[in-house]
Amino acid sequence: MRVMSDESAREAVGDYRYGFHDPENATIRFDKGLSEQVVRDISELKNEPEWMTDIRVKAYRRFMEMPMPTWGNSEMLNQIDFEAVTYFLRSSDRTERDWEEVPEDIKNTFDRLGIPEAEQKWLGGVTAQYESEAVYHSIREDLEEQGVIFLDMDSGLKEYPEIVKEYFGTVIPASDNKFSALNTAVWSGGSFIYVPKGVHVEMPVQAYFRINAKNMGQFERTLIIADEGSSLQYVEGCTAPTYSTESLHSAVVELIAMKGAKIRYSTVQNWSANVYNLVTKRGVAYDDATIEWVDGNIGSKLTMKYPAVLLKGEGAHAEVISVAYAGKGQHQDAGAKVHHLAPNTTSNILSKSISKNGGRSTYRGILQVTPKSHGCRSKVICDALMLDPDSQSDTYPTMEVGNASADLEHEASVSKVSNDQLFYLMSRGHTEEEAMGMIVNGFFEPFTRELPMEYAVELNRLLELEMEGAIG
C-alpha cells in the first residue's frame, strides 16, 4: 500500500475532526498479510463451527482467483497492497454490556465521538466496534423482552448458529465480487439483528465502527432479518484516525425484509482520507416489504459502494437516497442498484453529489425490470454540483427493461452553484462562504431530512467544516 509522508497525509485529510488516534493496546494482533492460514486462524480464534471455517476458506480461494475490477478507478484500486494489511486485531477480550467496563482508552475514543451520550438520548441499542471486534454492546430491555435479537455478529454466530447458517451469504454470496469474497474470508464483527413478526422497533439501533490502528483492515459483516410485518431503523457511523499509510474497510451488509416488513439502513460514512472504503450492501424485499438505504459518503480516499435491493415479492418497494462529497484526492464512486424481480414493485433513487478541490464524484447505478415483472414503476434522479473547475463529476446509469408495462424515468444534471443564488444570499448580509455553505446544505437537504436529527445536525456541521476555505 502506498505510503505518504506525514505532512502530505495531513494535507490530504485537511481538517478531519476524527483524525486523532489512541495508543494501540491490542490483546491479539495478527502479522500483516493474507493467507489461508490467516483465514483458518481467525476462525479458530473465534471458536467457530466447522461450516463457517469452510465458508471462509472457500471464499479466500475465490478471492485469490478473482481479478481486480477493471471498471471504476482501477488506478486507485491497484494501489491496494493486500499484504500490507492487518486482518485481525483484538482490542478487548470481551464485548461489554456496561459502558464502565469498556477499557479506558477505547472508552475515551467513543466518548470523544459522542456514542454513550447518543445512546442515552435516542437509541434503542448500540454496538461499538473497535478494530476487528465489538467492544461494547447494549440493547434496551423492552426490545429484548419482545424477542428482538441485537448482537454483534460473532456473538450472533455463537448464540444463534441455525439462523446465521440459514441466511449468511444468501443475499451476497462470496463470489459476488472480489471484495465480498475477501470479507467472507476474513469477516469479524458487524451486527446481527432479528426482529420477530409484527414487532416495530420505534427507536433506531446504532452501530459505530472505528478503525484506530495503522494499516488496519476492518471487515465487518452485518445481517439484518426483519420478520413479517416488523420494522427497524438501523444507523451506522464510521470514522478512522489520520495516518500516513492507508487502511482498508471492506464490509458486507445483508438485509432481509420478509412480507410486509420495513428496514431503513442509514449510514454516515466519514472515514479519514487514507481509507479505502469498498463495501457491498444488498437487501431482499419480499411481498409488500420496504427497504430503504439512506447513504451518506463524506470521507475516505476511494469509496465504491452501490446499495442494492432485490424486489422479490409483489408490491415490494425500494428507496435509495444517497449523497457524496468528494474533496481533494477523493473519489466517491457511489450509486444504487434496484432489481425489479416481481410484479407491481416500485422504487425511487435520489443521488446527490458535490465535488470540490479536484475531487471526483461518480454515480453508478442499475435499474432492472425482468420480463415477468408487470406494472413496475421507478424514478431515478441524479444531481451533481461542482464547486470548482478542477473537480470531476461522472454519471453511469444503466436501465434494463424487459417488461413492456414498466414505467421508468431517469434524469440527471451537472451544474455549478448559481451566481444568482450567491448574489441573493450575499445581498441579505451573508459572506460568500456562508452563502456557499447554505446552498450546499440545501442541496443535501432531501438526504439530511431522512436522518435522525442528531445525525442530520452532525452532517450539516461536517459539511460546514468541509466548506471552510471553499471560496477564494
Partner 1 sequence: MMNYPQMPLPSRSDSLWRYTSWKKIHPGKVDEIPKSDPINFSMGEKSQIDDSDEIARAFIHSISPVCKKLSIADETVEIRLESNGDLSSGELLVESKGNSTLTIRIMGDCKWTGLRILGEVTGKLSVALINEISPNSNLLLCEDWIVNRDSILELATLSIGGNLNKSDMRIELKSKGSDLRCGIASNGNAKRNDDHHIEIQHSVGYTTSSLVMHASCDGSSRSIGTGMLKICDGADGSDAGQVFRNLLLSEKARAEAIPGLEVLADDVKAAHGAASAPVDKEQIFYLTSRGLSPQESSSLIVEGFLMDAFRHVKNAHVLTDLRNGLLNHLDRLIAG
Residues at the site binding partner 1, with contacts judged by CB under 8 A = 69-71, 371, 384, 386-389, 391-416
In the complex, the smallest distance separating the C-beta of residue 466 from partner 1, rounded to whole angstroms, is: 17
In the complex, the smallest distance separating the C-beta of residue 412 from partner 1, rounded to whole angstroms, is: 5
In the complex, the smallest distance separating the C-beta of residue 395 from partner 1, rounded to whole angstroms, is: 4
How distant, in Å, are the alpha carbons of 104, 138, 192, 313, 401 from that of 98? 13, 8, 19, 41, 52
In the complex, the smallest distance separating the C-beta of residue 95 from partner 1, rounded to whole angstroms, is: 41
In the complex, the smallest distance separating the C-beta of residue 347 from partner 1, rounded to whole angstroms, is: 14
Distance, in Å, from the CA atom of 327 to the CA atom of 325, rounded to the nearest integer, reads 6
Residue number, 37 or 413, with CB nearest to partner 1: 413
Nearest to 458 by CA among 296, 304, 349, 326: 296
In the complex, the smallest distance separating the C-beta of residue 411 from partner 1, rounded to whole angstroms, is: 4
Residue number, 142 or 409, with CB nearest to partner 1: 409
DSSP helix/strand/coil, 288:
coil
CA 453 to chain centre: 19
Residue number, 270 or 393, with CB nearest to partner 1: 393
In the complex, the smallest distance separating the C-beta of residue 138 from partner 1, rounded to whole angstroms, is: 44
Under 8 Å between Cβ of 153 and 168:
no
CB under 8 Å to 16, separation ≥6 — which residues?
242, 272, 273, 299
Residue number, 44 or 388, with CB nearest to partner 1: 388
Residue number, 244 or 392, with CB nearest to partner 1: 392
Q: Is the dihedral of CA 179, 184, 189, 194 positive or negative?
A: positive
Nearest to 240 by CA among 265, 268, 274, 207: 274
Residue number, 65 or 388, with CB nearest to partner 1: 388
Under 8 Å between Cβ of 413 and 383:
yes
Nearest to 221 by CA among 59, 450, 365, 351: 59
In the complex, the smallest distance separating the C-beta of residue 416 from partner 1, rounded to whole angstroms, is: 4
Cell 425511487 sits on residue: 348
In the complex, the smallest distance separating the C-beta of residue 75 from partner 1, rounded to whole angstroms, is: 15
Q: Where are the beta strands (DSSP E) in 341-454?
A: 346-355, 360-369, 377-386, 392-401, 407-416
Nearest to 76 by CA among 141, 124, 149, 12: 12
DSSP helix/strand/coil, 74:
helix
Distance, in Å, from the CA atom of 97 to the CA atom of 318, rounded to the nearest integer, reads 34
| Consecutive H or E run containing 135 | strand 133-139
In the complex, the smallest distance separating the C-beta of residue 202 from partner 1, rounded to whole angstroms, is: 39
In the complex, the smallest distance separating the C-beta of residue 447 from partner 1, rounded to whole angstroms, is: 21
In the complex, the smallest distance separating the C-beta of residue 415 from partner 1, rounded to whole angstroms, is: 7
Residue number, 193 or 350, with CB nearest to partner 1: 350
Residue number, 55 or 349, with CB nearest to partner 1: 349
Quick one: cell of 466? 468541509
Identify residue 257 by its one-letter amino acid code. A
Distance, in Å, from the CA atom of 306 to the CA atom of 204, rounded to the nearest integer, reads 23
Quick one: cell of 33? 498479510
Residue number, 191 or 330, with CB nearest to partner 1: 330
CB under 8 Å to 112, separation ≥6 — which residues?
20
DSSP helix/strand/coil, 23:
coil
Q: Tell me the sheet residues that pair with 128.
A: 136, 208
Residue number, 417 or 438, with CB nearest to partner 1: 417
Q: What is the CA radius of gyration of the chain?
A: 21
Under 8 Å between Cβ of 323 and 444:
yes
Residue number, 156 or 327, with CB nearest to partner 1: 327
Residue number, 69 or 196, with CB nearest to partner 1: 69
